[in-house]
Structure 1
Amino acid sequence: MAQNLMFYTNPMSRGRIVRWMLEETGADYAETVLDYGTTMKGADYLAINPMGKVPAIRHGDQVITECAAICAYLADAFPEAGLAPALDRRGAYYRWMFFAAGPLEAAVTNQALQVQVPADKQGFVGYGSMAAVLDALSGAVKAGPYIAGDRFSAADVYVGAQVGWGLQFGTIEKRPEFADYAHRVMDRDAWRRATEKDDALTPPPAA
């Protein structure tokens, strides 16, 4: 069914995470590059993702959106790539992948928007505080070498991309353990192939 795998993306989006994951699987895939405000909001794509956002994939008759969900799905769809632990060893794999999709992303977004959660209201938000999120993540990457144990997995694609971007754009505190982890998980041929393909699609900066 790999020949029926369609990837909907834009190079200036979280589609870069899914591109990396696709390259890790080694699967054949086609791509549709969508533009913000036009084709991404057109009727054809809204039938794929009513949110009008990328990335998404269509694999046969299955449509999957949301980066973490796509990464988890692809790991299961292409088991020969070895990107998911055995079913009885997926605790840390699911835990940290969805930690990054939930508490980490929410905390980073609120910080970027300068949303300050008062100390007495931290129980209302899933992440509590940015410091608590980063300390939890720090413990996870220090326990490594990978986020779910001794082997690279789809969770490292998702968590590694979040950490890498956070360090690049200054939305995650520059701690040595985060830099070491990002370097370790991105030092892979699949990441380099994915980055090269997306960079080639990225328009040059305006003069």
Structure 2
Amino acid sequence: MSDELILYTNPQSRGRIARWMLEETGAAYRTEIVDYGTTMKGQDYLEINPMGKVPAIVHGGKVVTECAAICAYLAEAFPEAGLAPLPHERADYYRWLFFAAGPLEQATTNQFAKFEPSPEQGRMFGYGNYALAVDVLEKAVSAHPYIAGDRFTAADVYVGSSVGWGVMFDWLPKRDVFVDYFARVSGRDAYVRAGALDDAAMPVPA
């Protein structure tokens, strides 16, 4: 079986997270740009991701979807990159990676949709309410230079992207801790390379 690594993405999507993570690994990969109006909902792509969403990666014939899963998978698939957690980092690494993918994602998307859960609904929802999720995130990114401690890991790709986009699109308040954290993680060469590749793949205005 081929060990080819393929990224299915669109430069105007969360695929930028997967691209950044791939650039961090240093692994060779091929990019397939999937268009929102056509190929993303076409049968060929739905065979890869039945959700009709990007990103997805195919590695050695196996499919991985969901950005947090892609980050965690690639960190383990390419250990030489040093992006997987060390034993003492695992608790914070997994805790905040999946906090960002679960409660924080729910909180910010519901806030964007102008849905505010009632106290009764908040007891059922994993994030409780938007203000609580934001305050918890602030404590998490304030605890250490990086989300799992003193060094950059794959969790910073996902959490950093969530913070950067959150501040940019007003899904998160522009608190100094968020701005400072994103500045640290976005200054990396891999982030700059990934951004340039995605920018170059943007559709040309008619």
Task: Name the TM-score class by shorter chain.
Answer: over 0.9
Q: 2:33 is matched with which residue?
A: 33
C-alpha displacement at 1:42, in angstroms? 1.0
Q: Structure 2 unaligned segments of length 5 or more: list them.
A: none
Q: 1:114 is matched with which residue?
A: 114
Q: How does 1:176-191 map to 2 (within 5 A)?
A: 176-191=176-191
- Output the amino acid matched with 2:91: G
Q: How does 1:52-131 map to 2 (within 5 A)?
A: 52-87=52-87, 89-131=89-131
C-alpha displacement at 1:141, in angstroms? 0.8
Q: Structure 1 unaligned segments of length 5 or more: list them.
A: none
Paired with 1:114 and 1:4, the residues of 2 have a C-alpha distance of 42
Q: 1:165 is matched with which residue?
A: 165
C-alpha displacement at 1:114, in angstroms? 0.5
- Output the amino acid matched with 2:84: A
The number of equivalent residue pairs is 206
Q: Is the 8 A contact 1:167 1:174 kept in 2?
A: yes
Q: Is the 8 A contact 1:2 1:27 kept in 2?
A: no
Percent identity over paired residues:
63
Of 2-11 and 190-199, deviating more is 2-11
Paired with 1:61 and 1:3, the residues of 2 have a C-alpha distance of 7
C-alpha displacement at 1:176, in angstroms? 0.4
Of 7-16 and 119-128, deviating more is 119-128
Q: Is the 8 A contact 1:3 1:29 kept in 2?
A: no
Paired with 1:2 and 1:17, the residues of 2 have a C-alpha distance of 24
Paired with 1:135 and 1:41, the residues of 2 have a C-alpha distance of 37
Paired with 2:180 and 2:88, the residues of 1 have a C-alpha distance of 28
Q: How does 1:143-154 map to 2 (within 5 A)?
A: 143-154=143-154
Paired with 1:135 and 1:167, the residues of 2 have a C-alpha distance of 14
Q: Is the 8 A contact 1:2 1:29 kept in 2?
A: no
Paired with 1:88 and 1:184, the residues of 2 have a C-alpha distance of 22
Q: What's the RMSD between the two structures over aligned residues?
A: 1.5
Q: Is the 8 A contact 2:2 2:61 kept in 1?
A: no
Paired with 2:103 and 2:2, the residues of 1 have a C-alpha distance of 33
Paired with 1:47 and 1:61, the residues of 2 have a C-alpha distance of 12
Q: Is the 8 A contact 2:141 2:177 kept in 1?
A: yes
Of 170-179 and 85-94, deviating more is 85-94
Paired with 1:160 and 1:12, the residues of 2 have a C-alpha distance of 17
Q: TM-score, normalised by structure 1?
A: 0.96
Is 1:24 matched up with 2:48?
no
- Deviations 1:31-72 (Å, cap 9, x if unpaired)? 100101311111111110011111000000211000000000
Paired with 1:169 and 1:141, the residues of 2 have a C-alpha distance of 19
- CA 2–16 in structure 1, closer or farther in 2 if over 3 Å, else same: farther
C-alpha displacement at 1:20, in angstroms? 0.2
Q: Is the 8 A contact 1:103 1:126 kept in 2?
A: yes
- Output the amino acid matched with 2:81: A
